[in-house]
C-alpha cells in the first residue's frame, strides 16, 4: 500500500474530528500516516522525533498523541510511550457492526429529508467518478489508493450533510478508527467494483426518497467492507506462518 506523497494531508473524512491548533495539525498528520499504512500497527511514535519534525516542544506532541488515543489510533503505555494501536479481528468486527448501523441510519435520514433530491444531484458526479475508476482497470497500488481516497471523500460528504450533531460526531470518530481497515479491504479489485455499485444504488435510493432501500444498501455495503478487511487481516497474519519446518530424520529400522 503506497503512502501519500504529502504526509501532512489528512485523508478525507478520516480526521474530520480534529481541529486546527498545533496539536491538531500534528494529530492529523500522524492520523494520515496511520491510515495510509506508513505507520504500521505496533510501531512506536517517539515524542522527540515528532517534536523535531514539527519544530515544537514535547507538550503539543503529547496533546496530539492523547487525541489520537481518544480516537482509537494509538495506545499510550507506561515506560513504552505511544504506539500505533493493533486492532484484533474481533474489534474490527465490532467496530463495523456499529458503523453499519450508523451509516444505515444516516442513509435513511438523508433519503427521507426534504432536500434528498438536491443531495443526490450534488453527489452524483462523485459517485460517477467512483464507477469510472473501477471500469478503468488500471493496474497498480495507485488504483486502490485513488479509489479509497475518493470513497472516503464521498463518505465524508454524507456525514457532513447530517444535521444531528450526535450522529455526525459518532460517524466522524468511527471514520478515524476504521479508515485504515477500509483502505485494507478496498485493496481487492472485486470489492472496489461492488463498492462502486453499492454507492450508485445508494444514491439512486436517496434520489427516490426510499429510506428503507437506502438504509439496507448502506448497511450491506459497510458489512461487506468489514468482511473484506477481515479477510485481508487474516491473510496478513497467516502469511509469516507458512514457513516450512525441517523434518527430523527417520529413525533407522531395527533389522
pLDDT tens per residue across span 66-80: 999 988 899 998 888
Question: Of 103-107, 196-200, 232-236, 247-251, which range is least confident?
Answer: 247-251
H-type helices in 137-188, by residue range? 141-160, 165-185
- CATH 1.20.120.530 domain residues, the chain: 89-235
Please report which confidence band the pLDDT of residue 86 belongs to, taking 50, 70 and 90 as the band edges: confident
d(CA 192, CA 168): 25
User: What is residue 117's predicted lDDT score, i.e. its pLDDT?
Assistant: 97
Q: Cβ of 137: how many Cβ atoms within 10 Å?
A: 9
pLDDT in tens, 198-233: 999 999 999 999 999 999 999 999 999 999 999 998
d(CA 17, CA 55): 24
* 179-193 average pLDDT score: 92
Instruction: Determine contact, residues 126/74, Cβ cutoff 8 Å.
Output: no
d(CA 25, CA 19): 7
CATH, domain range 22-84: 1.10.10.10
Instruction: Determine contact, residues 38/1, Cβ cutoff 8 Å.
Output: no
pLDDT in tens, 119-129: 999 999 999 99
- CATH 1.10.10.10 domain residues, the chain: 22-84
Q: Cβ of 216: how many Cβ atoms within 10 Å?
A: 17
Q: Is the pLDDT of residue 183 over 70?
A: yes
Strand partners, 83: 44, 75
User: What is residue 142's predicted lDDT score, i.e. its pLDDT?
Assistant: 64
pTM of the model: 0.78
With a CB cutoff of 8 Å and minimum separation 6, the contacts of 178 are: 92, 95, 96, 99
CATH architecture under which domain 89-235 falls? Up-down Bundle (1.20)
d(CA 199, CA 218): 8
Instruction: Determine contact, residues 154/127, Cβ cutoff 8 Å.
Output: yes
User: What is residue 238's predicted lDDT score, i.e. its pLDDT?
Assistant: 63
Q: Cell 475508476 belongs to which residue? A: 133
Amino acid at each position: 500500500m503506497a503512502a501519500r506523497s504529502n504526509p501532512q494531508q489528512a485523508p478525507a473524512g478520516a480526521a474530520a474530528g480534529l481541529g486546527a491548533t498545533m496539536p491538531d495539525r500534528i494529530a492529523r498528520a500522524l492520523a494520515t500516516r496511520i491510515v495510509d499504512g506508513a505507520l504500521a500497527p505496533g510501531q512506536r511514535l517517539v515524542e522527540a522525533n515528532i517534536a523535531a519534525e514539527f519544530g515544537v516542544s514535547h507538550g503539543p506532541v503529547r496533546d496530539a498523541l492523547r487525541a489520537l488515543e481518544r480516537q482509537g489510533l494509538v495506545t499510550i503505555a507506561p515506560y513504552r510511550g505511544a504506539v500505533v494501536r493493533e486492532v484484533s479481528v474481533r474489534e474490527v468486527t465490532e467496530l463495523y457492526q456499529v458503523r453499519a448501523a450508523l451509516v444505515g441510519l444516516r442513509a435513511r435520514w438523508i433519503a427521507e429529508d426534504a432536500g434528498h433530491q438536491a443531495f443526490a444531484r450534488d453527489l452524483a458526479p462523485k459517485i460517477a467518478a467512483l464507477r469510472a475508476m473501477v471500469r478503468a482497470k488500471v493496474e497498480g497500488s495507485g488504483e486502490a489508493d485513488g479509489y479509497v481516497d475518493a470513497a472516503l471523500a464521498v463518505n465524508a460528504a454524507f456525514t457532513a450533510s447530517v444535521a444531528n450533531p450526535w450522529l455526525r460526531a459518532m460517524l466522524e470518530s468511527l471514520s478515524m478508527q476504521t479508515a485504515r481497515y477500509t483502505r485494507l479491504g478496498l485493496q481487492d479489485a472485486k470489492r472496489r467494483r461492488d463498492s462502486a455499485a453499492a454507492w450508485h444504488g445508494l444514491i439512486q435510493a436517496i434520489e427516490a426518497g426510499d429510506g428503507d432501500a437506502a438504509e439496507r444498501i448502506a448497511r450491506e455495503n459497510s458489512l461487506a467492507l468489514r468482511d473484506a478487511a477481515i479477510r485481508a487481516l487474516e491473510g496478513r497474519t497467516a502469511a509469516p506462518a507458512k514457513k516450512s519446518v525441517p523434518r527430523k530424520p527417520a529413525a533407522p529400522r531395527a533389522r
